[in-house]
Amino acid sequence: MYMEADVQDGVKGSSKKNVLLLGKGMLVTSENQIRRLKEAGLNEVTIDTSKGKDVAGGQVVAAPVKIKMPKKVTPAGGRETFFKDEIKMARQIRGASVKVVKDFMHNVATGGSIDTEKVNLASKTLTGSVFRNVDALLSLTALKNYSEHTYTHSVNVCVLTLAIGFAAGVSEEDAAVIGVGGLLHDIGKAKIPLSILDKPGPLTEDERKVIQSHPLFSEEILKKMGNIPEAAIAIAGQHHEKVNGSGYPRGLTGDQMHPFASMAAVADVYDALTSPRPYKPGLPPHIALRVVFDGKGTEFSSKVVETFITSLGIYPVGSFVKLNTEEMGVVVEVNPEDPLRPKVGVVFTRFGKQRKSPFVVDLLKEHKEGNPDARSIAGADDPRKYGINVEDYIG
């Protein structure tokens, strides 16, 4: 397409006012050029139909025509900001929160001074990010830290529980309470010797009892602080309870559990299953989701499991998937409006050759463009079979 007239970025108040984007007679040949025009906020341009490929038989056709451009896109429902804008902030918030938990646990273990204000602030910051774009922090929960497991696990459980709460429609104020409970749910582990906590083998009966007392320690520590909300203490004390009464430490049933603790119980199991530990590798997300789903109504609240799956998607970030093209890759971003069509970083070509650097394909975009060769997901697999560490591709 040839431009009939100069195209300028004349958006009012813009610092780039009247920047010439394309001059008269310029040839537009690529999707990228059109995308840049859309990004500049232009809804239409005028093209010279006497030139260009789109003229049947190459004849001069009437006056210039206007092409309608699609309206500016907005983030998916329930999200204030785009993933790409929130993810940078989410990375920093997550890093800072891990440090807050680490310092807090260290101080509890060594009798140092306790600053609950820092935890409140971390929780509010995490909550803010979840309410702006839940997918950003959620995608980072696929990152596990082997050597600092307890701290990253605490932040992951916090974010996963917040995501459930957000999807269930809790207020931002309640979410901040959930956040405190999530960050501190395993604080009682500060009282348990590392030799038991990180034991690389099966536990003795006595060791198991010691480990299973950590929710009671968590509860006790938080109660003593005097300024931790009841619901946050309930998360700490009840996150290993099961709705059928088979959990610990008290064997509470679903209706005896605090609703926020029921959310944290699902988040806790999912993160524990997907994290590698000295005695086991981490499970791929689709297998862990299956385990959670199988416990629906017996171990976990049915409603919470449903909300969790809705919120995480069918193929959460970090899933290793095979495409209909035989290519394989890692889910790097979900498309909230279509859980079956996320963005995938293609790692293996259709011939099984590993790419030096993956390229990202947006399955929803390909689908919307109506391309008959649009890629789709054929199934999920275990990345370890292919020597892939998904964490190298996300975050």
Q: Could you give the C-alpha distances from 70 to 38, 43, 64, 73, 258, in angstroms and in order?
A: 8, 7, 19, 8, 47
Rounded to the nearest whole angstrom, what is the least distance from the CB of residue 69 to Fe ion in the complex?
A: 49
SS3 194: helix
Cβ-based nearer residue to Fe ion, 51 or 277: 277
* Part in contact with Fe ion (CB under 5 A); list of ranges 108-116, 181-189, 228-236, 351-359: 181-189
* Cβ count within 10 A of residue 283: 18
Residues 62-81 that bind Fe ion (CB under 5 A): none
Rounded to the nearest whole angstrom, what is the least distance from the CB of residue 268 to Fe ion in the complex?
A: 4
Q: Which of 283, 183, 317, 292 is nearest to 242 (CA)?
A: 292
Rounded to the nearest whole angstrom, what is the least distance from the CB of residue 157 to Fe ion in the complex?
A: 5
- Supply 102's token pair: 């680490």
Rounded to the nearest whole angstrom, what is the least distance from the CB of residue 355 to Fe ion in the complex?
A: 36
Rounded to the nearest whole angstrom, what is the least distance from the CB of residue 159 to Fe ion in the complex?
A: 13
What distance in Å separates the CA atoms of residue 36 and residue 29, rounded to the nearest whole number? Answer: 12
Q: In what order do the strands lie in the sheet with 320-323?
A: 354-362, 343-348, 328-333, 320-323, 377-381
Upstream peptide bond of 249 is cis (omega within 30 degrees of 0): yes
Cβ-based nearer residue to Fe ion, 130 or 155: 155
Rounded to the nearest whole angstrom, what is the least distance from the CB of residue 150 to Fe ion in the complex?
A: 8
Cβ-based nearer residue to Fe ion, 45 or 178: 178
Query: Pairing between strand 2-3 and 44-48?
Result: antiparallel
- Supply 222's token pair: 């938080």
Options 4, 186, 219, 299; binder of Fe ion; rule CB under 5 A: 186
Beta-bridge partner residues of 258 = none
Cβ-based nearer residue to Fe ion, 4 or 186: 186
86 binds Fe ion (CB under 5 A): no
- Residue 324 DSSP class: T
Cβ-based nearer residue to Fe ion, 18 or 246: 246
Rounded to the nearest whole angstrom, what is the least distance from the CB of residue 156 to Fe ion in the complex?
A: 9
Distance of CA 58 to the CA centre of its chain: 51
366 phi and psi angles, rounded to 5 deg: -60, -40
Cβ-based nearer residue to Fe ion, 7 or 142: 142
Rounded to the nearest whole angstrom, what is the least distance from the CB of residue 107 to Fe ion in the complex?
A: 19
Cβ-based nearer residue to Fe ion, 42 or 252: 252
What distance in Å separates the CA atoms of residue 236 and residue 213, rounded to the nearest whole number? Answer: 11
Cβ-based nearer residue to Fe ion, 268 or 299: 268
The site string for Fe ion over 248-277 (x = CB under 5 A, - otherwise) reads: --------------------x---------
Distance of CA 51 to the CA centre of its chain: 47
* Part in contact with Fe ion (CB under 5 A); list of ranges 35-43, 169-177, 179-187, 202-210: 179-187
Q: Which residues in this chain contact Fe ion in the complex, by CB under 5 A?
A: 186, 268
